[in-house]
Amino acid sequence: MANKVVVFYLVGIVAILTPSMGYDEFEGQENFDCQLMMKNDRVVNGMVECLKSEEPECGTIMFTKMKEYAPEILETVCGKCTDEQKSKFKSCTNEFIKMRPDDFESIMKKYDPDNKYRGPLEEFLKS
């Protein structure tokens, strides 16, 4: 996939998305408190900069993994996630959008410039 797209997330959504991913290296992180994380500007700014960066690696392993998986999560709307992980992904992404709407939009423009995944993502986030 030449034009892989995220998040966590979302987008971010990186630290927000990462604990929501249904991948072995992130298993057991469903208790992640995204509201607490969103209060830490240093962490959120690092996550946002990682997602916006053209560099393949970021300052932390977690952010790098999130950036790696973000396109797939966006494309599949967390398709590999368990129900519990989908719930966490939804709540964390909605929290990120509420607290950092401009960052969310800039990340979406980078990973989904044609708005191909926005509709399904928005439907999922409303459900």
CATH number at residue 116: 1.10.2080.10
HEC-encoded secondary structure of 33-89? CHHHHHCCHHHHHHHHHHHHCCCCCCCCHHHHHHHHHHHHHHHHCCCCCCHHHHHHH
Q: Is residue 118 part of a domain?
A: yes
Q: What percent of the chain has pLDDT over 90?
A: 39
Q: Is residue 42 part of a domain?
A: yes
Q: Which pLDDT does position 101 carry in this prediction?
A: 96
Q: Is residue 3 part of a domain?
A: no
Of residues 52 and 3, the one with the higher pLDDT is: 52
Q: Is residue 6 part of a domain?
A: no
Q: Which domain holds residue 73?
A: 17-24+33-126
61, pLDDT greater than 50: yes
Q: Is residue 8 part of a domain?
A: no
Of residues 88 and 102, the one with the higher pLDDT is: 102
Backbone phi and psi for residue 24, each to the nearest 5 degrees, phi listed first: -50, -40
Rounded mean pLDDT, 52-71: 87
Residue 3 region, left (φ>0) first, then alpha (ψ -120 to 50), else beta?
beta
Count of structural domains, the chain:
1
25, pLDDT greater than 70: no
Q: What residue type is assigned to position 39 of the chain?
A: K
Q: Is residue 99 part of a domain?
A: yes
Q: Is residue 1 part of a domain?
A: no
pTM of the predicted structure, to 2 decimals: 0.74
Q: Is residue 9 part of a domain?
A: no
- Whole-number average pLDDT of the chain: 79
